[in-house]
Structure 1
Amino acid sequence: MAELTHFDVASIDEMDPSIADGYRVIYDREVPFELRLHEANAPQQVGTLEAVKAKVLVLGDEHSLQSIRVELSSEADLFFHYMHVIDEAGFLAIQEQQKLMVEFADYPNVLIRMLNNCIKEPHSHLAVFVMKQDVDARLDFIQNMEYKFVELMSCHFIRSPEEIVQHQITFRYNAVKTRLNMMQGRLEDVNNLVKLKNPSLLLQLQKSTTSWGGR
């Protein structure tokens, strides 16, 4: 039996550089985003709809929350990586500016609820990500009220430094490679078992695989 078959899948996640500094992941899903490029002195244009992986992380527990970080990445573009990092002092400024009716401790749950709404009700709840030509970007959560669009909340993002992007790409590459090795090891185990118990069935399976591969 291949050694990697026994590899604990959870240990792959433990290699995630996002949690290397003490943060823990509380949300990790693909969310439909409208991606827009903002150019100075140019009219705002409709963006492209893409699936963006949104990861919400927290530092500290619910009774002593120290910091919140939201990471955005994309399977379509490995070099797409943005972060929104905020502590309580930074949140208070946003709370006053945007007239938010939630406290810092509730902010992660509010973010998660809005992201989930964009997944469940994409026609009425929109996530618009506006990227500027520099490192800055903005995520607007917008609700379509039929007669008008209402901006619910806005979050400031920055493009991640090249070093962080490289660490993330390395992690994703190694994670995929490890899972592939695990599946190949598992396939080898199944082949050996079927070969032992029913060799003719194995031949049928191999022929079937070859015929599918030739299509």
Structure 2
Amino acid sequence: MDFSQLEDADPSCADGSRVFYEREVPFELRSVDGLETPEEVGTLEAVRVKICVQGPDGAYTNVKIELCSESNLFFHYTHDLDTAAYAALQEGQRLMVDFKDYPAVIQRNLNNCIKQPHAFLAVLVMQKTGGARLDFIQNMEYKFVELLSIDLDSTPEEATRAHVTYRYNAMKGRLALCQARLADVNALVKIKNPSLLLQLKNEERSRKGVRSP
């Protein structure tokens, strides 16, 4: 099944970017109002993280990180930086990697949060004014160590709507493709082995609690 046409419509790639990484990652969500201290304990939620890059492999010119959630369609944050902006981040965070390795560093931290959720944490602190900060933290048993912290901006409403529309259409398109594929399989089984098709339909009726005619 070819999903390339759906992927071509992705607004994340409208600026010439391509998807480097995309997965759901367990995040702890905390909120803060102004200069107040963030909540000590947040809510755990699966957040879909997408890393997009521009430029050839090994010589990226731009890296963009997007956060969205299936539980809240209008939850959308963006971290977007080029080589110049990365230089400031590198100095502030004392990072030892070049810009070309930055996407892989973020990917590794995200995967650690998936594979070892008790040892590695992704904490998103959301400002009610719109911005957010993503902290990658390692639990060292006797203390918590902050590995990396990046700032994100709340995605503008118009762009967020474009992402919501894309996700809805992509899901609708995938469903249509799956239904078409299922119809093809049913037609093939009906020709090759009609009794098997009847058996499958009876089993499906049994699961749904419907008696066979």
Structures share fold, TM-score greater than 0.5: yes
Which position in structure 1 is the counterpart of 2:64? 69
| 1:207 match: secondary structure | helix
Q: Quick one: distance in 2 between partners of 1:43 and 1:145?
A: 22
Structure-2 separation of matches of 1:14 and 1:22: 11
12, 15, 18: which one aligns with 1:21: 15
2:31 equivalent among 23, 32, 37 = 37
Instruction: Report the counterpart of residue 98 of structure 1 in structure 2.
Output: 93
What is the aligned length? 209
Matching residue within 142, 145, 160 for 2:140: 145
Taking only the aligned residue pairs, the percentage that are identical comes to 55
> Of 177, 182, 186, which residue of structure 2 is paired with 1:187?
182
Q: Which whole-Å CA distance do the structure 1 matches of 2:202 and 2:41 have between them? A: 49
Q: Point out where structure 1 has 5 or more consecutive residues left out of the alignment.
A: 1-6
Q: Distance in 1 between matches of 2:190 and 2:118?
A: 52
User: Which residue identity is paired with 2:24?
Assistant: E
Match of 2:165 in 1: 170
Q: Give 1:214 deviation, angstroms.
A: 3.0
1:48 is matched with which residue?
Answer: 43
- CA shift, 1:51, in A, is 1.1
Query: What corresponds to 1:3 in structure 2?
Result: none
> After TM superposition, what 4+ stretches of structure 1 lie above 6 angstroms from structure 2?
none
Give the structure 2 partner of residue 198 of structure 1.
193
Report deviation, 1:195. 2.2
Of 101, 110, 126, 2:121 maps to: 126
Moved more, 100-109 or 138-147: 100-109
**What is the rounded CA distance, in whole Å, between the counterparts of 1:68 and 1:192 in structure 2?**
46
Q: How far did residue 42 of structure 1 move?
A: 5.4
- Deviations, residues 27-52 of structure 1 (Å, cap 9, x unaligned): 11111110111124356330111111
Deviates most, 152-161 or 200-209 = 200-209
Deviations 1:44-98 (A, max 9, x none): 3301111111111111123532111001111121111110001111111122222
Taking structure 2 as the reference length, what is the TM-score of the superposition? 0.91
What is the one-letter code of the residue matched to 1:27?
Y
| Alignment deviations for residues 178-213 of structure 1 (CA, whole Å, 9 cap, x no partner) | 111111112212222222233333222222212212
Q: SS of 1:154's equivalent?
A: strand
> Which deviates the most, 83-92 or 54-63?
54-63
In angstroms, what is the RMSD of aligned CA positions?
A: 1.7
2:84 equivalent to 1:89? yes
Supply the distance in 1 between the matched residues of 2:102 and 2:189 (Cα, whole angstroms): 53
Higher relative contact order (CA 8 A, sep 6+): 1
* Cα displacement string for residues 111-159 of structure 1 (whole angstroms, at most 9, x for unaligned residues): 1111111111111111000001011000001111111111111000011
The yes-or-no answer on 1:8 pairing with 2:2 is: yes
